């Protein structure tokens, strides 16, 4: 049986996979698993609920709130806010847990349900599995004064903005910034906090109507932002995804600045301020080799994890590190939050530009991105990637030929019969040639036919 929870909560087509019935049942199960500690101490459990602006979030959040209250949980409904805001408010209000309804960068018809533990932390797999196991179990319903109460958290927006402004190292006076909110959860928050920090702000993608989230705007569609930055003569552009836990950027010439470059800039900024714990950055194995080379040159150690922000966060917490993230722009500042925060990332990036009086392009130049080729090989037995001797010999031969000027990574998909072949090299043609050869070996050795 397939696991209910994926790498980032429960996600699927709203009203087909993610139904109000499932939302209600999941909420009741979560109340019993995550609220037990408070009940054991004679206290009423408390939960913060937020959502992104997609239309299905309206009825799904109603189902979540109803399920929680019916299970005796006092609910604080924060309305439309970024995912990191819900995580922050869960910690700041000392709630037992938080719930976010969002499908992040997915198209509008999708939605998802994500839970945060006390303190705003993502749930371990075993706790998610315990919630799934409690679905549809018989339970004793509270009655009378024991049912949960529902409160509108009208100050959630301002509390989150105050938090962001408090941790910003310097103001943004004199900067001209374009914000692309992806018609998503950051459409109001991000432009407002940038203005309060002193920047002149131009907005695109900040008119959510419930149907247009991620539609041609945001971190997966940078074209409008690139055009707007150049047309407005802005210093930089910031692009969020639907729930604003990610951030990509655009320099004054309209050139994309990806998550690896952002992490390089922020790691050096924190190192200069003495806030980069152990002078170490955490990334996944998918980060460009150019980032590793740049950090080695600048005296910053890099720890690499498996793909997924949860693995980055686990390593950061285990090793007591302060900065980590992914190439996709999912950046975690563990001193200030428990999950990736696209608004905070954008603010910190702009703060570095303002503080140094150097252009974003100049700052991003600290690293040179090596050409990267990624091919998804379908219809293969991914379980034999590590054990097939001929395939591993082919990988070692290609790595030896690259002689430190590139790298090869074979990774099996977590959900499909797919092997991902990633190659980096000094030249695009070289990377493509190596990838093509390895793809043929993967197909020959691991084919399911």
Residues at the annotated binding site for Mg(2+)?
104, 241, 243, 245
Q: State the DSSP code for 18.
A: B
Tell me how far the alpha carbon of residue 445 is from its chain's centroid. 35
> Residues near 285 by Cβ (< 8 Å), separated by ≥ 6?
304, 305, 306, 307, 409, 411
Which of 67, 60, 83, 201 has its CA nearest to residue 147?
A: 67
Place of tokens 């004199």: 174
Question: What's the count of helices (H) and strands (E) in the chain, helices before strands?
Answer: 15, 18
Selection from 429, 430, 428, 409 nearest residue 420 by Cα: 409
Do the Cβ atoms of 292 and 284 come closer than 8 Å? no
| Run of H or E including 200 | strand 200-204
Q: Are strands 280-284 and 176-180 parallel, antiparallel or unpaired?
A: unpaired
Annotation: binding site? 104, 241, 243, 245
For residues 234 and 228, the answer to whether their CB atoms sit within 8 Å is yes
Tell me if residue 25 is catalytic.
no
Q: What sections of 323-427 are H helices per DSSP?
A: 342-356, 360-364, 389-402
Give me the count of residues in the chain: 449
Residue 126 and residue 118: Cα distance in Å, rounded?
A: 16
Cα dihedral 395→400→403→408 (10° resolution): 0
User: Three-state SS for 410?
Assistant: strand
- Give the other-Cβ count within 10 Å of 209's Cβ: 11
Catalytic residue among 27, 38, 61, 104: 104
Residues classed as catalytic? 104
């Amino acid at each position: 049986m397939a696991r209910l929870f994926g790498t980032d909560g429960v996600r699927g087509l709203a009203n087909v996979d993610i139904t109000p019935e499932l939302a209600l049942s999941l909420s009741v199960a979560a109340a019993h698993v995550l609220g037990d500690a408070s009940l054991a101490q004679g206290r009423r459990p408390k939960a913060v609920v937020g959502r992104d602006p997609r239309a299905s979030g309206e009825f799904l959040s109603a189902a979540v709130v109803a399920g929680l209250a019916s299970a005796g949980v006092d609910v604080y409904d924060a309305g439309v806010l970024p995912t990191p805001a819900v995580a922050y408010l869960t910690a700041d209000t000392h709630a037992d847990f938080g719930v976010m309804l969002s499908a992040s960068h997915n198209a509008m018809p999708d939605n998802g349900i994500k839970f945060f533990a006390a303190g705003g932390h993502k749930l371990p797999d075993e706790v998610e599995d315990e919630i799934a196991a409690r679905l549809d179990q018989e339970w004793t319903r509270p009655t009378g004064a024991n049912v949960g109460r529902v409160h509108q958290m009208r100050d959630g927006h301002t509390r989150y903005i105050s938090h962001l402004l408090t941790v910003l190292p310097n103001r943004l006076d004199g900067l001209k910034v374009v914000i692309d909110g992806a018609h998503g959860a950051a459409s109001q928050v991000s432009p407002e906090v940038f203005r309060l920090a002193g920047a002149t702000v131009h907005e695109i993608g900040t008119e959510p109507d419930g149907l247009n989230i991620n539609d041609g705007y945001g971190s997966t569609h940078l074209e409008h932002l690139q055009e707007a930055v150049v047309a407005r003569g802005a210093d930089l552009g910031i692009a969020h995804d639907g729930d604003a836990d990610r951030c990509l950027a655009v320099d004054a010439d309209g050139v994309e600045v990806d998550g690896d470059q952002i992490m390089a800039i922020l790691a050096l900024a924190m190192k200069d301020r003495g806030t980069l714990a152990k002078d170490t950055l955490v990334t996944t194995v998918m980060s460009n080799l150019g980032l590793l080379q740049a950090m080695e040159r600048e005296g910053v150690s890099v720890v690499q994890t498996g793909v997924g922000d949860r693995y980055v966060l686990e390593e950061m917490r285990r090793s007591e590190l302060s900065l980590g993230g992914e190439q996709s722009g999912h950046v975690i500042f563990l001193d200030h939050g428990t999950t990736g925060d696209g608004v905070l990332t954008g603010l910190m990036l702009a703060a570095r530009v303002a503080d140094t009086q150097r252009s974003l392009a100049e700052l991003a130049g600290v690293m040179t991105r090596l050409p990267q080729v990624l091919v998804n090989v379908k219809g293969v037995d991914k379980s034999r990637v590590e054990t097939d001797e001929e395939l591993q010999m082919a990988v070692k031969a290609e790595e030896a030929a690259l002689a430190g000027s590139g790298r090869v990574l074979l990774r099996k998909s977590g959900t499909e019969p797919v092997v991902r072949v990633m190659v980096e090299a000094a030249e695009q043609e070289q990377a493509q040639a190596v990838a093509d050869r390895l793809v043929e070996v993967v197909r020959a050795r691991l084919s399911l036919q």
